[in-house]
Structure 1
Protein backbone atom coordinates (compact mmCIF):
# COMPACT_ATOMS: atom_id res chain seq x y z
CA UNK A 1 0.00 0.00 0.00
CA UNK A 2 1.16 3.51 -0.76
CA UNK A 3 -0.20 6.70 0.78
CA UNK A 4 0.25 10.15 -0.70
CA UNK A 5 -0.59 13.26 1.30
CA UNK A 6 -2.35 15.92 -0.79
CA UNK A 7 -1.88 19.42 0.67
CA UNK A 8 -2.18 22.33 -1.75
CA UNK A 9 -1.49 24.68 1.19
CA UNK A 10 0.72 24.62 4.30
CA UNK A 11 -1.63 25.99 7.01
CA UNK A 12 -3.12 22.59 7.87
CA UNK A 13 0.31 21.15 8.73
CA UNK A 14 0.33 22.79 12.17
CA UNK A 15 -3.07 21.18 12.86
CA UNK A 16 -1.80 17.68 12.12
CA UNK A 17 -4.04 16.69 9.24
CA UNK A 18 -4.08 16.49 5.45
CA UNK A 19 -6.48 17.98 2.93
CA UNK A 20 -6.46 14.63 1.17
CA UNK A 21 -4.87 11.21 1.41
CA UNK A 22 -4.58 9.11 -1.73
CA UNK A 23 -4.17 5.37 -1.18
CA UNK A 24 -3.02 3.04 -3.91
CA UNK A 25 -2.50 -0.71 -3.84
CA UNK A 26 -4.43 -1.16 -0.59
CA UNK A 27 -5.76 -4.64 0.05
CA UNK A 28 -7.90 -4.03 3.14
CA UNK A 29 -10.06 -1.22 4.53
CA UNK A 30 -11.39 -0.94 8.08
CA UNK A 31 -14.30 1.42 8.80
CA UNK A 32 -14.44 2.14 12.53
CA UNK A 33 -17.55 3.26 14.34
CA UNK A 34 -17.26 6.44 16.35
CA UNK A 35 -15.20 5.83 19.47
CA UNK A 36 -15.99 7.79 22.61
CA UNK A 37 -15.00 7.82 26.27
CA UNK A 38 -16.66 4.50 27.09
CA UNK A 39 -15.37 1.90 29.52
CA UNK A 40 -15.12 -1.83 28.74
CA UNK A 41 -18.67 -2.34 30.09
CA UNK A 42 -20.13 0.18 27.63
CA UNK A 43 -20.67 2.94 30.18
CA UNK A 44 -19.67 6.54 29.45
CA UNK A 45 -16.75 7.86 31.48
CA UNK A 46 -17.39 11.30 32.94
CA UNK A 47 -14.14 13.20 32.34
CA UNK A 48 -13.04 16.56 30.96
CA UNK A 49 -12.40 17.03 27.23
CA UNK A 50 -8.72 16.05 27.46
CA UNK A 51 -9.58 12.87 29.34
CA UNK A 52 -12.33 11.99 26.90
CA UNK A 53 -10.10 12.58 23.88
CA UNK A 54 -7.43 10.35 25.40
CA UNK A 55 -9.87 7.52 26.17
CA UNK A 56 -11.56 7.87 22.77
CA UNK A 57 -8.17 7.49 21.06
CA UNK A 58 -7.34 4.54 23.35
CA UNK A 59 -10.61 2.89 22.33
CA UNK A 60 -9.92 3.59 18.67
CA UNK A 61 -6.50 1.99 18.96
CA UNK A 62 -8.07 -1.03 20.68
CA UNK A 63 -10.40 -1.54 17.70
CA UNK A 64 -7.53 -1.01 15.26
CA UNK A 65 -5.26 -3.49 17.05
CA UNK A 66 -8.03 -6.10 17.27
CA UNK A 67 -8.24 -5.95 13.47
CA UNK A 68 -4.41 -5.99 13.11
CA UNK A 69 -4.16 -2.32 12.16
CA UNK A 70 -2.34 0.54 13.84
CA UNK A 71 -2.88 4.29 14.09
CA UNK A 72 -0.40 4.74 11.23
CA UNK A 73 -2.92 2.99 8.92
CA UNK A 74 -5.64 5.60 9.58
CA UNK A 75 -6.31 7.80 6.56
CA UNK A 76 -9.45 9.59 7.77
CA UNK A 77 -10.52 10.84 11.20
CA UNK A 78 -13.82 12.59 11.83
CA UNK A 79 -14.27 14.37 15.14
CA UNK A 80 -17.68 15.12 16.62
CA UNK A 81 -17.68 17.33 19.69
CA UNK A 82 -20.14 19.26 21.81
CA UNK A 83 -17.62 22.12 22.10
CA UNK A 84 -15.09 23.08 19.45
CA UNK A 85 -13.57 25.56 21.90
CA UNK A 86 -12.90 22.85 24.51
CA UNK A 87 -11.77 20.43 21.81
CA UNK A 88 -9.13 22.86 20.49
CA UNK A 89 -7.96 23.61 24.04
CA UNK A 90 -7.05 19.90 24.33
CA UNK A 91 -6.07 19.33 20.69
CA UNK A 92 -2.33 19.35 21.37
CA UNK A 93 -2.54 15.80 22.68
CA UNK A 94 -4.25 14.69 19.44
CA UNK A 95 -1.44 16.18 17.34
CA UNK A 96 1.21 14.62 19.60
CA UNK A 97 -0.37 11.18 19.41
CA UNK A 98 -0.92 11.27 15.65
CA UNK A 99 2.59 12.62 15.01
CA UNK A 100 4.17 9.91 17.17
CA UNK A 101 2.31 7.28 15.12
CA UNK A 102 3.16 8.83 11.76
CA UNK A 103 -0.53 9.44 11.11
CA UNK A 104 -1.56 12.39 8.91
CA UNK A 105 -5.24 11.74 8.14
CA UNK A 106 -7.81 13.69 6.21
CA UNK A 107 -10.11 15.06 8.91
CA UNK A 108 -13.35 16.84 9.64
CA UNK A 109 -14.32 18.53 12.91
CA UNK A 110 -18.00 19.10 13.60
CA UNK A 111 -19.73 20.60 16.64
CA UNK A 112 -22.93 18.76 17.54
CA UNK A 113 -25.60 19.54 20.12
CA UNK A 114 -25.32 16.12 21.76
CA UNK A 115 -23.75 12.68 21.47
CA UNK A 116 -25.20 9.28 22.45
CA UNK A 117 -24.91 9.94 26.21
CA UNK A 118 -25.14 13.32 27.96
CA UNK A 119 -21.69 12.83 29.58
CA UNK A 120 -19.91 12.48 26.23
CA UNK A 121 -18.03 15.47 24.83
CA UNK A 122 -16.26 13.91 21.83
CA UNK A 123 -16.53 10.97 19.44
CA UNK A 124 -13.86 9.97 16.92
CA UNK A 125 -14.61 8.02 13.74
CA UNK A 126 -11.84 6.48 11.60
CA UNK A 127 -11.11 4.77 8.32
CA UNK A 128 -7.90 2.74 8.06
CA UNK A 129 -6.28 0.97 5.11
CA UNK A 130 -3.42 -1.44 4.56
Structure 2
Protein backbone atom coordinates (compact mmCIF):
# COMPACT_ATOMS: atom_id res chain seq x y z
CA UNK A 1 0.00 0.00 0.00
CA UNK A 2 1.43 3.40 -0.93
CA UNK A 3 1.47 6.28 1.51
CA UNK A 4 -0.70 8.28 -0.90
CA UNK A 5 -3.54 5.76 -0.63
CA UNK A 6 -3.49 6.28 3.12
CA UNK A 7 -3.37 10.10 2.88
CA UNK A 8 -6.14 12.37 4.17
CA UNK A 9 -5.86 16.08 3.34
CA UNK A 10 -7.77 18.33 5.73
CA UNK A 11 -9.03 21.60 4.23
CA UNK A 12 -9.99 24.83 5.94
CA UNK A 13 -11.88 25.89 2.82
CA UNK A 14 -9.47 28.73 2.10
CA UNK A 15 -9.14 29.69 -1.56
CA UNK A 16 -5.37 29.84 -1.00
CA UNK A 17 -5.04 26.10 -0.42
CA UNK A 18 -5.58 25.32 -4.11
CA UNK A 19 -3.71 28.40 -5.35
CA UNK A 20 -0.60 27.73 -3.26
CA UNK A 21 -0.92 23.95 -3.12
CA UNK A 22 -1.21 23.14 0.59
CA UNK A 23 -3.61 21.64 3.11
CA UNK A 24 -4.60 22.89 6.57
CA UNK A 25 -3.43 19.49 7.82
CA UNK A 26 -2.39 16.13 6.40
CA UNK A 27 -2.87 12.73 8.01
CA UNK A 28 -0.94 9.70 6.81
CA UNK A 29 -1.49 6.68 9.01
CA UNK A 30 -1.13 7.79 12.61
CA UNK A 31 0.87 10.94 11.75
CA UNK A 32 -0.84 14.35 11.48
CA UNK A 33 0.95 17.54 10.46
CA UNK A 34 -0.83 20.88 10.80
CA UNK A 35 0.33 23.74 8.58
CA UNK A 36 1.45 27.07 9.93
CA UNK A 37 -1.57 28.61 11.63
CA UNK A 38 -2.24 32.23 12.52
CA UNK A 39 -5.09 34.20 14.06
CA UNK A 40 -5.93 36.02 10.82
CA UNK A 41 -9.48 37.27 10.48
CA UNK A 42 -11.44 39.30 7.95
CA UNK A 43 -10.92 42.52 9.94
CA UNK A 44 -7.39 41.82 11.17
CA UNK A 45 -6.07 39.26 13.60
CA UNK A 46 -8.31 37.74 16.26
CA UNK A 47 -6.95 39.26 19.47
CA UNK A 48 -5.64 42.42 17.83
CA UNK A 49 -2.14 43.28 19.06
CA UNK A 50 -2.43 40.88 22.02
CA UNK A 51 0.14 38.14 21.35
CA UNK A 52 -1.38 35.85 23.97
CA UNK A 53 -4.80 36.07 22.33
CA UNK A 54 -3.37 35.55 18.84
CA UNK A 55 -1.58 32.47 20.18
CA UNK A 56 -4.76 31.12 21.77
CA UNK A 57 -6.70 31.60 18.52
CA UNK A 58 -4.01 29.88 16.45
CA UNK A 59 -4.03 26.98 18.92
CA UNK A 60 -7.85 26.75 18.76
CA UNK A 61 -7.57 26.47 14.97
CA UNK A 62 -4.86 23.83 15.29
CA UNK A 63 -7.03 21.84 17.70
CA UNK A 64 -9.94 22.03 15.22
CA UNK A 65 -7.72 20.69 12.41
CA UNK A 66 -6.43 17.93 14.68
CA UNK A 67 -9.99 16.96 15.58
CA UNK A 68 -10.97 16.80 11.92
CA UNK A 69 -7.97 14.53 11.31
CA UNK A 70 -8.98 12.24 14.18
CA UNK A 71 -6.38 13.53 16.64
CA UNK A 72 -6.33 15.83 19.66
CA UNK A 73 -3.93 18.10 21.50
CA UNK A 74 -2.84 15.13 23.63
CA UNK A 75 -1.42 13.51 20.49
CA UNK A 76 0.84 16.47 19.68
CA UNK A 77 4.54 15.62 19.81
CA UNK A 78 6.03 18.83 18.35
CA UNK A 79 5.13 22.47 17.91
CA UNK A 80 6.98 25.33 16.27
CA UNK A 81 6.16 28.94 17.09
CA UNK A 82 7.31 31.72 14.78
CA UNK A 83 7.25 35.15 16.47
CA UNK A 84 7.82 38.54 14.90
CA UNK A 85 9.13 39.92 18.22
CA UNK A 86 11.15 37.53 20.38
CA UNK A 87 11.05 39.96 23.31
CA UNK A 88 7.38 38.93 23.70
CA UNK A 89 8.06 35.16 23.73
CA UNK A 90 6.69 34.74 27.24
CA UNK A 91 3.19 35.89 26.21
CA UNK A 92 3.09 33.18 23.55
CA UNK A 93 4.70 30.64 25.87
CA UNK A 94 2.08 31.12 28.57
CA UNK A 95 -0.76 30.63 26.07
CA UNK A 96 1.01 27.56 24.65
CA UNK A 97 1.34 26.18 28.19
CA UNK A 98 -2.42 26.56 28.76
CA UNK A 99 -2.96 23.93 26.06
CA UNK A 100 0.21 21.86 26.29
CA UNK A 101 1.33 22.24 29.93
CA UNK A 102 0.69 18.58 30.79
CA UNK A 103 1.33 17.24 27.28
CA UNK A 104 4.74 18.91 26.93
CA UNK A 105 5.54 18.38 23.24
CA UNK A 106 8.97 19.20 21.87
CA UNK A 107 8.76 22.91 21.05
CA UNK A 108 10.79 25.45 19.15
CA UNK A 109 10.36 29.23 19.29
CA UNK A 110 11.91 31.22 16.45
CA UNK A 111 11.93 34.89 15.56
CA UNK A 112 11.08 35.77 11.98
CA UNK A 113 11.26 39.15 10.26
CA UNK A 114 7.63 39.07 9.13
CA UNK A 115 4.58 36.90 8.61
CA UNK A 116 2.16 37.05 5.67
CA UNK A 117 0.38 40.12 7.12
CA UNK A 118 2.12 42.79 9.20
CA UNK A 119 -0.41 42.67 12.06
CA UNK A 120 0.10 38.92 12.63
CA UNK A 121 2.47 38.33 15.54
CA UNK A 122 2.71 34.52 15.59
CA UNK A 123 2.36 31.46 13.38
CA UNK A 124 2.31 27.95 14.86
CA UNK A 125 2.84 24.49 13.33
CA UNK A 126 2.06 21.19 15.03
CA UNK A 127 2.80 17.50 14.48
CA UNK A 128 0.89 14.72 16.17
CA UNK A 129 1.01 10.94 16.36
CA UNK A 130 -2.30 9.31 17.11
CA UNK A 131 -2.04 6.67 19.80
CA UNK A 132 -3.80 3.31 19.71
TM-score scaled by length of structure 2 = 0.69
Distance 1:42 1:29 in 2: 34
- CA distances 1:20-40 after superposition (whole Å, capped 9, x unpaired): xxxxxxx5101110111124x
Contact 1:82 1:113 in 2 (8 A): yes
Q: What's the offset of the Cα at 1:109?
A: 0.9
Measured on the aligned residues, the alpha-carbon RMSD in Å equals 2.1
* More relative contact order, 1 or 2 (CA 8 Å, 6+ apart): 1
What is the number of equivalent residue pairs in this alignment? 102
Residue ranges of structure 2 left out of the alignment (5+ in a row): 1-28
Instruction: Please identify runs of 4+ aligned residues in structure 1 that moved more than 4 A.
Output: none
Match of 1:52 in 2: 54
- CA distances 1:65-120 after superposition (whole Å, capped 9, x unpaired): 11111001000101100011112134223213212xx4211111110010011110
State which of 65, 68, 81 in structure 2 corresponds to 1:79: 81
Distance 1:60 1:42 in 2: 20
Match of 2:67 in 1: 65
